[in-house]
Amino acid sequence: MDSLRALFHDTESLVILLLVGLIAGWLAGQLIRGRGFGVVLNILLGVIGAYLGGIIFRAVGVSGHGMLWMIVSATVGAMVLVFFINAIRR
């Protein structure tokens, strides 16, 4: 029974991560490019952005909780990532 709960919790966490990644990647695309990058790239940017955003906000001593905070942090991280990718491309 405990393994079933752990599996459900892990599945739920994965779904939340992918949803936050999709939203954050889309928002970063809208704010930087004026359009999204497509579902798969939005998720990838958002997930990497969530990691990067966590590092950035921890470095400056800012923290928060909840779904909105996760989306904001991931969006900021994704925007930084898109900015650097665009700078390297040029």
> What's residue 60's pLDDT?
92
- The conformational region for residue 66 under phi > 0 = left, psi -120 to 50 = alpha, else beta, is left
Beta carbons within 8 Å of 86's beta carbon, 6+ residues apart = 32
Per-residue pLDDT tens digits for 30-83: 888 777 777 888 888 888 888 898 889 989 998 888 888 888 999 999 999 888
SS3 label, residue 53: helix
Residue 69 token pair: 């905070």
Whole-angstrom distance, CA of residue 59 vs CA of residue 76: 14
User: What's the confidence (pLDDT) of residue 9?
Assistant: 64
Q: How confident is the model at residue 29 (pLDDT cuts 50, 70, 90)?
A: confident
Domain ranges for the chain = 2-89
Q: What does the pLDDT read at residue 76?
A: 92
